[in-house]
């Protein structure tokens, strides 16, 4: 661009907007409050030794969960601001640039910094317990994965107050994201934050693939494994093969911006469609990466609260793995309108329709699981049942979008917005909340309050339909995505106002969930049995919360639904009390190095955002030093002595 200076000065702190100033004050007060509480109650050492340095999969899962809920709040606030702007025609609540930043951060946070850590939370909390393992295959790598996610999320959210948020949409298509059109540091925040957290995601996929394949309890063959680990196995395969495509796309775009390369600039021989293809080669498998674990959770919840085995176990396993394969052949349906030609569009249209078949198999199997079951509508079951009509609508509209000629009409309209929120919220968020309620007693030792939880469920569920059903009609009426203002004579005003009311209801429901958690922590029913739901899988054989070594004796599995089988055998007097003597348990040592190394990633990434290369070099040196120190470290594990195991088990009433 003639006369353009890519090193033009950019204000370091974001200013000029009252909402930014209010946020600055709230962030400062929150930080001061956290520091005060930790100092006043002398909990700094506890924070370091019990949480920051932990390699225990259960604690890492809890940290993922808390971080994901915080990101849900941040992304939810963005959505409420957008809906407020669109509630009325000719509204000037937000300016165009601010609106662009908000819809960019909303989409990025909800997909990569809310949905991903939520599934990682459930994976960490439940999978090792369900397969009878004492931890994941690589506990140290698991800690690195979490802290890379955490500091990636912090780097991304820092753009809100320093440098400016990204504003090119959550997909960040070039050429809009090339330096001449987007010169500030906002896009650099996006690229580097996603790279840092993405490294952690790939490591998590590898970790859980190995954990599930190599660390199952004796007798637990793959076809005796619960369906949630099966869903995590399929999602892990997707992560390992899909995330590198995103890594490459982001790296090439970063080189375009920082090093003057031209991978995606057409005037210099590049092609922006390369980025679009690479992004969606990751992007559509990503949809299944987050929804497949939700399917696994629904399978556990429907079986437990129907007091029946899952109907069609083998077909459920086959459908999970089939979805994992087909999901790699559907990415081009995101750009049918970009002129690939009828042959390409037909192939991807057929593949996009075919992926609905195994999904439909699962829905019918869940319905048959409930058929003639003794159904209890506890909170996990409410969220699971609420998912079915939501996902049915999302699936039907997905078939409409998969038809290439129809997609030419729906593409980039609010019909598409409604569809993917119907699928991602109705599938992923409902599934993760079902899992959160289901495994909450196992994490914390108390049950979340039913009364407040039911209010939250119904407000969220009603608000969900009120928010997104009008958006299908808005799409048919011609309203396109990313519109921040519209004239009154378009006929969109009433439906937009209704949609905004629904968004507010969902926001109130989230507040109620937070209130429910705080209330239950003080007054909630304590789980003294370890099995409050009369569960079927091995995690319910342990006390709540489970000891850090999980199983004093590694269980021997003889059938599917291993814990249910043990309970039934005990009722018949066929199982005697455990007589095997305790043995020392091999466990990994805690380490602060994952935290420190991830902090160095943050420092290096922050340096690259502003092209402060000496600071980036400091971060790189810190990363390499941490890797070197780990490579020469020998004292990485220890044995829990028999006496300590006996003492813990006696206190739990299990010795």
Q: What residues contact residue 167 under an 8 Å CB cut-off, 6+ apart?
A: 97, 100, 101, 104, 182, 186, 187
CA distance 189 to 233: 31
The closest alpha carbon to 198, from 611, 613, 630, 601, belongs to 601
Domain residue spans of the chain: 10-42, 43-651
Class of domain 43-651 as given by CATH: mainly alpha
Q: Is 216 left (phi over 0), alpha (psi -120 to 50) or beta?
A: beta
CA distance 95 to 124: 41
pLDDT of amino acid 308: 94
Distance of alpha carbon 136 from the chain centroid: 19
CA distance 645 to 651: 10
Omega before 378 within 30 of 0, i.e. cis? no
Query: How would you write 478-546 as a 3-class SS string?
Result: CCECCCCCCCHHHCCHHHHHHHHHHHHHHHHHHHHHHHHHHHHHHHCEECCCCCCCCCCCHHHHCCCCC
CA distance 301 to 440: 13
CA distance 209 to 232: 8
CA distance 38 to 42: 6
Residues of the chain with pLDDT under 50: 1-6
DSSP per residue, 198-254: HHHHHHHHHHHHHHHHH-PPTT--GGGS-HHHHHHHHHHHHHHHHHHHHHHHHHHHH
Any bridge partners for residue 639, and if so which? Answer: 586
Tokens of 193: 């934050």
Give residue-wise pLDDT tens across range 177-202.
Answer: 999 999 989 999 999 999 999 999 99
pLDDT of amino acid 1: 32
Q: Is 169 left (phi over 0), alpha (psi -120 to 50) or beta?
A: left
Angle among Cα 84, 108, 502 to the nearest 5 degrees reads 30
Any bridge partners for residue 447, and if so which? Answer: 525
CA distance 440 to 513: 13
CA distance 131 to 555: 9
585-588 and 637-640 strand pairing: antiparallel
Tokens of 238: 């997707």
Omega before 276 within 30 of 0, i.e. cis? no
Task: Indicate if the alpha-carbon torsion angle 608, 613, 615, 618 is positive or negative.
Answer: positive
Tokens of 414: 């609010």
CA distance 381 to 307: 12
DSSP per residue, 61-80: HHHHHHHHHHHHHHHHHHHH
Residue with tokens 């780990």: 630
Tokens of 119: 């599934």
pLDDT of amino acid 339: 79
Instruction: Provide the 8-state DSSP code for 14.
Output: -
CA distance 168 to 186: 9
Q: Is 172 left (phi over 0), alpha (psi -120 to 50) or beta?
A: left
């Amino acid at each position: 661009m003639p006369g353009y200076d890519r090193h033009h000065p950019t204000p370091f702190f974001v200013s000029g907007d009252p909402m930014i100033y209010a946020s600055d004050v709230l962030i400062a007060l929150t930080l001061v409050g956290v520091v005060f509480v930790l100092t006043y109650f002398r909990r700094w050492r506890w924070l370091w030794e019990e949480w920051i340095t932990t390699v225990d999969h259960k604690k890492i899962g809890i940290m993922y969960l808390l971080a994901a809920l915080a990101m849900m709040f941040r992304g939810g606030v963005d959505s409420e601001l957008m809906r407020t702007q669109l509630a009325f025609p000719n509204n000037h609540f937000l300016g165009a640039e601010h609106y662009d930043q908000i819809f960019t951060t909303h989409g990025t946070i909800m997909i990569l910094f809310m949905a991903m850590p939520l599934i990682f939370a459930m994976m960490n909390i439940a999978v090792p317990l369900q397969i009878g393992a004492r931890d994941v295959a690589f506990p140290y790598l698991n800690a690195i994965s979490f802290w890379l996610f955490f500091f990636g999320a912090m780097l991304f959210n820092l753009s809100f107050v320093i440098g400016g948020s990204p504003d090119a949409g959550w997909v960040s298509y070039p050429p809009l994201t090339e330096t001449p059109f987007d010169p500030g540091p906002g896009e650099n925040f996006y690229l580097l934050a996603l790279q840092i957290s993405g490294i952690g995601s790939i490591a998590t996929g590898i970790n859980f693939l190995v954990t599930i394949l190599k660390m199952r309890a004796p007798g637990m063959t793959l076809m005796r494994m619960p369906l949630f680990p099966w869903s995590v196995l399929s999602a892990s395969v997707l992560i390992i093969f899909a995330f590198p495509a995103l890594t490459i796309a982001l790296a090439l775009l970063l080189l375009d911006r920082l090093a003057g390369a031209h991978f995606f600039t057409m005037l210099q021989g590049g092609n922006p469609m390369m980025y679009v293809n690479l992004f969606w080669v990751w992007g559509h498998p990503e949809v299944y990466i987050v929804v497949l674990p939700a399917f696994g959770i629904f399978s556990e919840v429907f079986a437990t609260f129907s007091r029946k085995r899952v109907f069609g176990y083998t077909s459920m396993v086959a459908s999970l793995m089939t979805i994992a394969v087909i999901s790699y052949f559907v990415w081009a349906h995101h750009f049918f309108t970009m002129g690939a030609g009828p042959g390409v569009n037909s192939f991807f249209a057929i593949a996009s329709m075919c992926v609905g078949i195994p999904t439909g198999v699962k829905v019918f199997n869940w319905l048959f699981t409930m058929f003639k079951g003794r159904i209890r509508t506890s909170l996990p079951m409410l969220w699971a049942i609420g998912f079915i009509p939501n996902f049915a609508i999302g699936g039907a509209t997905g078939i409409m979008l998969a038809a290439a000629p129809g997609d030419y009409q729906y593409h980039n309209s609010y019909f598409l917005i409604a569809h993917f929120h119907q699928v991602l919220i109705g599938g992923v968020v409902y599934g993760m909340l079902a899992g959160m309620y289901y495994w909450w007693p196992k994490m914390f030792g108390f049950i979340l309050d039913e009364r407040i939880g039911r209010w939250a469920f119904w407000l969220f569920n009603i608000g969900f339909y009120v928010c997104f059903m009008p958006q299908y009609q808005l799409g048919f009426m011609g309203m396109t995505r990313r519109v921040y203002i519209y004239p009154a004579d378009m006929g969109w005003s009433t439906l937009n106002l209704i949609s905004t009311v629904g968004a507010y209801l969902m926001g109130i429901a989230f507040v109620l969930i937070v209130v429910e958690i705080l209330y239950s922590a003080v007054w909630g029913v304590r789980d003294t049995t370890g099995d409050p739901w009369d569960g079927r899988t091995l995690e319910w054989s342990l006390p709540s919360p489970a000891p850090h070594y999980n199983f004093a004796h590694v269980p021997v599995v003889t059938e599917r639904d291993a814990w249910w089988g043990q309970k039934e055998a005990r009722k018949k007097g066929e199982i005697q009390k455990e007589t095997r003597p305790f043995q020392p348990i091999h466990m990994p040592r805690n380490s602060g190095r994952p935290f420190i190394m991830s902090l160095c990633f943050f420092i290096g990434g922050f340096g690259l955002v502003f092209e402060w290369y000496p600071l980036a070099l400091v971060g790189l040196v810190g990363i390499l030093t941490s890797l070197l120190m780990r490579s020469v470290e020998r004292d990485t594990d220890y044995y829990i002595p028999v006496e300590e195991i006996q003492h813990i088990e006696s206190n739990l009433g299990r010795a």
